[in-house]
Amino acid sequence: NDTKVIDHWLDRMLDLFQQPDTGIVGARLVYADGSLQEAGGVVFSDGSGWNYGRNDEADRPQYSFVSETDYVSGACLMLRRTLFESLNGFDSYYSPAYYEDTDLCFRVRAQGLKVMYQPAATVVHFEGVTSGTDESGGTKRYQVINREKFIQRWQAELSHQPESPPPLPEQAQNDLDHNDVNPSDRVRQLRYHRFAKRALIIDAVTPTPDQDSGSVRMFALLKLFGQIGYQTSFMPSNLAWAGVDSVRLQQAGIEVLTAPWVNDVEEWLVEHGRDLNLVLVSRHYILTPLIRLIRHYCPNAQLLFDTVDLHFLREEREAEVNASAAALREAARTRRAELSLIERSDATLVVSGFEARLLNELKPEARVQVVSNVHSLQSAGNAWADRRDVLFVGGFQHPPNRDAAFWLIEEILPQIREHLPEVKLHLIGSKMPDAIRERRAPGLIVHGFVADLEPYLNTCRVSLAPLRYGAGVKGKVNQAMSHGLPVVATTCAAEGMYTRHEHDVLMADTADDFAEQVVRLYQDQALWEKIAANGRDNVEQHFSVAAAERALSELLRELES
């Protein structure tokens, strides 16, 4: 009788029950004027608590990501009916009102389940409409009475909760339904009390995991830091809000730092840098202007340089393919920049063993760790007999993919079709330039960006990776293997993938040889089935979430020792 729901509130709360350990979900409660009433709650060791963010602006980053919390108010609280009934509902011990919702959250947590806050579900709460706000009389007086009951029941559990901070000036008390504005610098640590550490991750832009493999890896890393004990914040260097892509991070439990809430990286580091235990920055051109600021304002943080791939290696190879002296000079500048950052960072991440060995030769004193692409095994898709055509997938903002597409269309596809005239090449990828999008050739089907690749990965017979230069590990190869789609790749494309020719991939480096291997794999069912099965094994062993977590945890243990 004292709430007003906002569109999609129910669907977004239900979303969190896809996680089997979710016990209760609460919404973002706002006042009629749009200011925040509650973004979950913190319960202190004395039984008092804070509604996190009360009276602040509701859209601030610290209130906008999914998070575990101590309790959520009964103004909007969702749990499974079976669980509610097994606990006999709200306990009449707290009749007529107050603390029954907090008690229920604690009883659900005692079942090994989590109480979650969902910021994407917004509910207007007209606080005090039912029972008023005067604790000295009426139903509202039970807020004080029931607090003592709550303390008696949960004394053991409360001993593990944070201590109540000193009261703010002129603050009467901090209890579960009555507290004044809490400055974020006083409450931030309390909200994150389940996390022993805090991490800040900076990349060029917000990850788009439906468009490129680098984003798939970054998204996986962001989630992994949370799983191994870091409250994780992400900041794109352009500070731009990226709509659905930013929301995707928030729904994964990651704080997203963008304008208008963050307008200057240095200002944010001045305010919060001392709280950080780890800073990871991707790409040399992002870290170069920031490294001095990070070292100055984040004195307690380990600095990780995530190369993504060694840019100088890719640029050197491109210069060689194009026989460009100017490009070779630019690659030399990149080499100096990356090696300098490696020297000044506490550790460096690379995506392949090849790159790790190269850096060990160039900078033997540096701590280098392989944290490669991250993929989960998918459905194996259709059998050989129920598949047809060949597939190329790549983000076309990446120069090696543009070069590969032209080489494939102009030199390789015609030779494939000499032997397999019915075969079509499906060319798929984001940010496709007009020169490729408008290209016409026999057997060529240009799709551009495709939101859902599953139909192609599950029905095409061979995936192609004809990269003539590049560095790092190629997501297109991982992705195809994870779906049981065999790959024909150049040596460059298969580099760092732990692959073997004729075992889990076929390799070729000239147009003639590449086309020959495609035709061979396309026609040989036994070979196709062997490569498909071994490719899936390769992904599970080297590129799974578990493999990335092992590598990252090992590095962090070394840094802490």
Q: Contacts for 107-114 with beta carbons within 8 Å, 24 or more apart?
A: 108/23, 108/24, 108/79, 108/83, 109/23, 110/157, 111/23, 111/83, 112/21, 113/21, 113/22, 113/23, 113/24, 113/83, 114/19, 114/21, 114/22, 114/23, 114/24, 114/68
E strand or H helix at 15? helix 9-15
Burial of 520 (0-12, 13-18, 19+ CB in 10 A): middle
Question: How does residue 133 score in pLDDT terms, banded at 50, 70 and 90?
Answer: low
**191-200 residue pLDDT tens:** 778 888 999 9
Question: How does residue 98 score in pLDDT terms, banded at 50, 70 and 90?
Answer: confident
Distance CA 213, CA 377 (A): 15
- What are the C-alpha distances in Å from 212 to residues 187, 415, 429, 476, 494? 37, 29, 8, 9, 17
**Mean per-residue pLDDT over the chain, rounded:** 91
Question: Which pLDDT does position 132 carry in this prediction?
Answer: 52
Least confident of 133-142, 271-280, 349-358: 133-142
**20-52 residue pLDDT tens:** 999 999 999 999 999 999 999 999 999 988 899
* Secondary structure (3-state) at 218: helix
One-letter amino acid at 51 equals N
* Secondary structure (3-state) at 62: helix
Distance CA 342, CA 337 (A): 9
Which residue is associated with the tokens 């290209």? 439
Compute the average pLDDT of residues 223-244.
Answer: 96
Least confident of 41-55, 106-120, 412-426: 41-55
- Beta bridge partners, 38, equal 29
Tokens encoding 502: 């004729």
Cβ–Cβ under 8 Å, residues 48 and 179: no
Question: Which pLDDT does position 21 carry in this prediction?
Answer: 97
Which residue is associated with the tokens 């090449």? 425
Distance CA 405, CA 227 (A): 38
Question: How does residue 372 score in pLDDT terms, banded at 50, 70 and 90?
Answer: confident
One-letter amino acid at 183 equals P
Question: Which pLDDT does position 179 carry in this prediction?
Answer: 43
Q: Look at residue 373 and tell me whether its pLDDT is greater than 60.
A: yes
Instruction: Give me the half-sphere count of Cα atoms (radius 13 Å) on the Cβ side of residue 174.
Output: 23
* Secondary structure (3-state) at 18: helix
**476-492 residue pLDDT tens:** 898 999 999 999 999 99
How far does CA 286 lie from the centroid of its chain?
19
Distance CA 561, CA 99 (A): 44
Cβ–Cβ under 8 Å, residues 191 and 68: no
One-letter amino acid at 525 equals Q
For 18, phi and psi rounded to 5 degrees? Answer: -70, -20
Nearest to 466 by CA among 508, 427, 436, 501: 508
For 392, phi and psi rounded to 5 degrees? Answer: -130, 125
Cβ–Cβ under 8 Å, residues 179 and 53: no
**169-199 residue pLDDT tens:** 544 344 444 444 444 456 667 777 888 899 9
Nearest to 201 by CA among 223, 228, 222: 222
Burial of 273 (0-12, 13-18, 19+ CB in 10 A): buried
- Beta bridge partners, 30, equal 36, 124
Tokens encoding 531: 């490569």
Question: Which pLDDT does position 97 carry in this prediction?
Answer: 82
Question: CA end-to-end span of the chain, whole Å?
Answer: 56
Question: Which pLDDT does position 476 carry in this prediction?
Answer: 86
Higher pLDDT, 451 or 190: 451
Look up residue 410 and give its DSSP letter.
I
- What are the C-alpha distances in Å from 542 to residues 218, 223, 226, 301, 367? 17, 18, 21, 29, 20
Q: CA-based angle 307:364:301, to the nearest 5?
A: 55
Q: Look at residue 451 and tell me whether its pLDDT is greater than 90.
A: no
Look up residue 441 and give its DSSP letter.
-
Distance CA 349, CA 371 (A): 6
Least confident of 93-97, 115-119, 242-246: 93-97
Tokens encoding 97: 């009102």
Q: Three-state SS across 269-315? A: HHHHHHHCCEEEEECHHHHCCCHHHHHHHCCCCEEEEECCCCHHHHH
List of residues 6+ apart from 361 with CB closer than 8 A: none
Cβ–Cβ under 8 Å, residues 329 and 369: no
